[in-house]
Amino acid sequence: MSMQAHAESPAHHFDHPEPTTFLRKYVFSVDHKVIGKQYLGIGVFMAVAGGLMAYLIRWQLAWPETPVPGFGWVPEPYMYEGAIPPEFYNSMVTMHGTIMVFFAAMPILLGAFGNFLLPIMVGAPDMAFPRLNMMSVWTLGVASLVLIASFFMPGGAAAHGWTGYAPLSAKAAYTGVDWGGTLWILALALEFASFLMGGVNFLVTAINMRAPGMSLMRLPLLVWMQLTAAVLFMLSVGPLVAAAIMLLLDRTLGTGFFLPERGGDPLLWQHLFWFFGHPEVYVILLPGFGIVMEILPVFARKPIFGYRSIVWSTIAAGALSFIVWAHHMFVSGIDARLATPFSITTILISVPFAIIMFAMIATLWGGSIVLTTPMLFALGVIATFLIGGVTGIFLGSAAVDIYLHDTYFVLAHFHYTLFPSVILAGLGGLYFWWPKMTGRMLNETLGKIHFWLTFIAFNCVFLPLFLVGVGGHHRRIYDPYQYDFLKPFQPVHEFATMAAIVLILSQLLLLVNVVMSLMSGEKAPANPWGANTLEWQTDSPPPHGNFKTVPTVYRDPYDYSVPGAALDFLPQTHP
Amino acid sequence: MTTEHSMTAPRELGKLPFGRAGIWWFLASEIMTFGGLLGAYTLQRISHGGWHAEMQHLNAYIAALNTLFLVTSSLTIVLAHQATERGDRVRARNMLWVTVALGIVFLCNKGVEYSIEFDHGYFPWTSTFWSFYFTMTGLHALHVAGGVVWNTCLAIAASRAIWPKVSHRVEYAGLYWHFVDVVWIFLFPLLYLS
Amino acid sequence: MLSWFPENISTYGAQLDSLFALIYYITGVWFVAAQALLLYFIIRFRRRPGVRASYVRGENAGELAWVMVPVVVVLALDLFIDYRSHPAWALVKEEFPADAIAYGGTAKQFNWAFTHPGVDGKLGSEDDVTLDNELHVPAGKDVQVSINSIDVIHSFFIPTVRVKQDVLPGRTTRVWFNATKPGRYEIPCAELCGFGHYTMRGFLVVHSPEEYEKWTAEQKPTPAA
């Protein structure tokens, strides 16, 4: 960047000099690329913690009250020589959900991919508010520490489920968890603050800091989906903040917002929670889909099918997500006449998602498909999300939901929507952008083995759980075999648990691959996949400020295989 | 169009003023938070038959006076912003101090009101009405206090010099202060008058 | 999948199960078709030397029809499912039979207490019988249970009857059913209610009408608390 130009133009606060000290460069960095990696670090760390909790839960379900291999070191009263007591099981169930949704999915999908990619994809040197960006990642760090600290409080960590239904969550006496439950609320509040700060950066960066020629309809779909997710989160989290304040006061000050004996209403919590909860699902889904949208055209060598329809579907799905919340509450005791209207809004929301899914499949038609590791993961997302989608139709029908509500059918359903969009899409994105992030290639063979093991093991864990759900197996049960009608399901649980162990162990392949790549990986060229979007038109990894000169955008993000062109891709900067 | 722009060259597509977009983002999420509280209060109130008896114990005169203070302070912060745009340092500073003073008067008044209620034995845990009342007005008072601190910083900054950043910051503080005012405009009738 | 359902013993259970089956077949066809298409595209359009992908942007109406027509069909089928669901929902949750035998119930951490109407068949009279974790009903009769909770939210779930209803503290929630087959069935609590949630297990005991009369006569009335 020339000093001449710097002096002439008004200084923007997103221009900051390249840092020189270690602290400024890697710890208190304001560079969106470093912040993205910090988010990735926090997210992966928490995901590993959440994954180990899943292992504990699965072990208990398959072989109740037997020592969990590898966990003999956990002291009492958390575990007894490796065996899990009921209180700890409920804490595990609660923390697995809380961690995976708020401390793994959001940091990885929005925090890491959003921060690293969004500015480069729009052609900006950094986020609009770099210091706010740093503050948001540090707030998330503090939130994570508070959540982890809650384990060490007397009574242990929160045990009221990740949905925190009152009155169970409103009085310490009901769960036996005192400070753990209060810290759970504080950790969530800090997490919300973190992503509110992050979200405004997404909006202003994507609107204001686009490179010349980057019109809104030339934005990569990932940017659109990150943006929609940020706005959804901002608009939906307020009522939950209000609910969290009330819950905190119920726990600490003795108010009775959710306690009927003091004139409160337990359903109020559920309304406020799910008003946030459903948009929150899309806050996670959409960035995952965005990753798939970036990978598909590159390896099908085709424009994405129906770019505009996808953009409008994304916005429509976001808007509709605010009027479907009561479908989580069909049998909760709300007025029965509300069920059918909410069934219909739920059905309507399947339209934009059907458009997105069909557009993904249609993109493959007539393509020239290369099954690289990222592409395998992207296709895996489509294949598994279809299962999550169709099983949602069962639950959207209020009548069928009477029986299925709070069974393993629901559990399997939402794991089939969130696992593809968080884990499969997240891994696909990591394989896809790793060369850009680090300047090194990953090993393709290892990557493919990793994909197949993950994909098959995941399906082996959760497909059988649909069956026990249909069998009436209710959720959050410490020892299912107390019930005669659940006794025959033990082999199913054993199978799912063994598959879960394979699923967790197969992630070590990624670790091996990453370490090998960092130690001795092949150097990544600027554009290893032959891709069009702006992040591939700069060095790997991008320099400070992302581009040596401001890129000018001349075309759509997915101009692959244009007839008459010499190459089968035309970068957005190609005149 | 050439590709030879510097990274600091003005971008042609930027539409949102950076700071204003930030403050609106913050306010939108705040609106949803207070909206959640007010919505919950309204629904609970309808289903619990109005809470008219509890409401009789609130002091609508103190609250009306407080409404007057806040509305006036909204006006003074607008005047402060106008003054910063004209570069009128003294007037900007004075108007900001008036805004701060009105905010403090509001808080003191609120404190008096709370202490009267405590004296009569009404605490946040007394009943759901009082829980809502203290939570909503308490959260609002925290926002007023935050605004007072912010406005004080600006008043000190403005007493030294006026430069464009101060003008922008007074504008953002004004937006926030209006928001705090508007929340009170909703709280006052919903709690005291209905 | 359908064979995994537990036995159905209620009058409305068959209708709910057939609704599940309807959705199962509709979504099953779509699911198989979509997966088959996905697999076919992946295999058919693998990269081959010298063959360039077709430049189809899916922006004009003719191309978009490939997506929009299936979407419209999906929407129509979804609305059809809702149309078929509504009567079943209304039957279970809205249209309570007027002459059902009334029962009472209380849920707490971590058990159920059910109040039976006794010999006179009326709830609230002196011969009421309250039992822990057992609900005795006559086969083939409409039964209505009014349940409340004294602490947290529980959920009254009888898998064989296909009914589930959250039980809230501070208000009475009604459930009705008509169990047709005598036997002993489990009533799990389906909403996390604390560390003993998994032990909160009740039983529905369905007697034939004659046996039910005999059983009722044998019970000692529970003194009102």
Q: Closest Cα partner for A478 from A16, A63, A18, A105?
A: A63
- Percent of chain A at pLDDT exceeding 90: 93
Chain A residues near residue B39 by CB distance under 8 angstroms: 239
User: Quick one: pLDDT at residue C1?
Assistant: 84
CB contact under 8 A, B7 and A550: yes
CB contact under 8 A, A365 and C52: no
Q: Closest Cα partner for A378 from A290, A499, A280, A285?
A: A290
CB < 8 Å & 24+ apart, contacts of C17-22: C17/C162, C19/A397, C19/A399, C19/A400, C19/C81, C19/C84, C19/C85, C19/C88, C20/A394, C20/A400, C20/A403, C20/A470, C22/C81, C22/C84
Whether residue B167 has pLDDT greater than 80: yes
Mutation for C interface: A250, A470, A475, A482, most C CBs within 10 A: A470
Of C71, C109, C190, which has the smallest distance from its Cβ to A351's Cβ? C71
pLDDT confidence bin for B5, thresholds 50/70/90: very low
Q: Strands C183-188 and C201-207: what pairing?
A: antiparallel
Q: Closest Cα partner for A353 from A395, A399, A404, A388?
A: A388
Please give the residue of chain A at the shortest CA–CA distance from C19. Answer: A400
Whether residue A12 has pLDDT greater than 80: no
Residue A368 to residue A270: CA distance in whole angstroms: 48
The crossing angle, in degrees rounded to 10, of helices B164-188 and B128-160 is 160
pLDDT digits (tens, 9 = 90+) for A198-237: 999 999 999 989 999 999 999 999 999 999 999 999 999 9
Chain B residues near residue A212 by CB distance under 8 angstroms: 1, 5, 11-13
Tell me the DSSP string of chain C: -GGGSPPP-BTTHHHHHHHHHHHHHHHHHHHHHHHHHHHHHHHHTB--TT-PPP-----SHHHHHHHHHHHHHHHHHHHHHHHHHHHHHIIIII---TTPEEEEEEEETTEEEEEE-TTTT-TTSTT-EEEESEEEEETTS-EEEEEEESSS-EEEEEGGGTEEEEE-BTS-EEEEE-B-S-EEEEEEB-S--STTGGG-EEEEEEE-HHHHHHHHHHSPPPPP-
User: Quick one: pLDDT at residue A24?
Assistant: 83
User: Quick one: pLDDT at residue A13?
Assistant: 53
Q: Is A367 on the interface with B (CB under 8 A)?
A: no
Please give the residue of chain A at the shortest CA–CA distance from C51. Answer: A368
Mutation for B interface: A3, A171, A204, most B CBs within 10 A: A204
Contact partners, residue B153, CB within 8 Å, separation at least 6: none
Partner residues linked to B168 by β-bridges:
none
Of B11, B128, B132, which has the smallest distance from its Cβ to A209's Cβ? B11
CB contact under 8 A, B37 and A242: yes
Q: Are the beta carbons of B84 and B170 closer than 8 angstroms?
A: yes
Indicate whether this complex's ipTM tops 0.85: yes
Give the pair of three-digit tokens for residue B192: 């005291």
Please give the residue of chain A at the shortest CA–CA distance from C64. Answer: A306
pLDDT digits (tens, 9 = 90+) for A109-162: 999 999 999 999 999 999 999 999 999 999 999 999 999 999 999 889 999 999
**What is the rounded average pLDDT of the residues B116-139?**
95
Q: Is A18 on the interface with B (CB under 8 A)?
A: no
The crossing angle, in degrees rounded to 10, of helices A490-506 and A508-520 is 0
Residue C141 to residue C208: CA distance in whole angstroms: 10
CB contact under 8 A, C45 and A369: yes
Average predicted confidence (pLDDT) for chain A: 94
**What is the rounded average pLDDT of the residues B36-49?**
91
Q: Are the beta carbons of A233 and A109 closer than 8 angstroms?
A: no
pLDDT digits (tens, 9 = 90+) for C157-178: 999 999 999 999 999 999 999 9
Give, as one character, the DSSP assignment of residue A82.
Answer: T
pLDDT digits (tens, 9 = 90+) for A232-264: 999 999 999 999 999 999 999 999 999 999 889
Whether residue B10 has pLDDT greater than 60: no
**What is the rounded average pLDDT of the residues A41-49?**
98
- Percent of chain A at pLDDT exceeding 70: 97
The model's pTM: 0.94
Mutation for A interface: C1, C2, C4, most A CBs within 10 A: C4
User: Quick one: pLDDT at residue C225?
Assistant: 54
CB contact under 8 A, A482 and C86: no
Whether residue B32 has pLDDT greater than 70: yes
User: Quick one: pLDDT at residue A18?
Assistant: 81
pLDDT confidence bin for A414, thresholds 50/70/90: very high
User: Quick one: pLDDT at residue C125?
Assistant: 87
Q: Is A468 on the interface with B (CB under 8 A)?
A: no
Tell me the DSSP string of B13-63: T--S-HHHHHHHHHHHHHHHHHHHHHHHHHHHHHHTGGGHHHHTTS-HHHH
C neighbour chains, 3+ CB pairs within 8 Å: A
User: Quick one: pLDDT at residue C117?
Assistant: 94
User: Quick one: pLDDT at residue B54?
Assistant: 86
Please provide the distance, in angstroms rounded to a whole number, between the alpha carbons at the two ends of chain C.
Answer: 47
- Regions of chain C with pLDDT less than 50: none
Of A132, A241, A254, which has the smallest distance from its Cβ to B125's Cβ? A254
Of C28, C37, C162, which has the smallest distance from its Cβ to A402's Cβ? C162
Please give the residue of chain C at the shortest CA–CA distance from A386. Answer: C31
SS3 of residue A194 by DSSP: helix
Please give the residue of chain B at the shortest CA–CA distance from A548. Answer: B7
Judged on CB neighbours under 10 Å (0-12, 13-18, 19+), C47 is middle
CB contact under 8 A, B125 and A262: yes
Q: Is C162 on the interface with A (CB under 8 A)?
A: yes
**What is the rounded average pLDDT of the residues A289-304?**
97
User: Quick one: pLDDT at residue C224?
Assistant: 62
Q: Are the beta carbons of C170 and A266 closer than 8 angstroms?
A: yes
User: Quick one: pLDDT at residue A21?
Assistant: 85
Tell me the DSSP string of A493-527: HHHHHHHHHHHHHHTHHHHHHHHHHHHHPPBP-S-
**What is the rounded average pLDDT of the residues A465-486?**
96
pLDDT digits (tens, 9 = 90+) for A82-101: 999 999 999 999 999 999 99
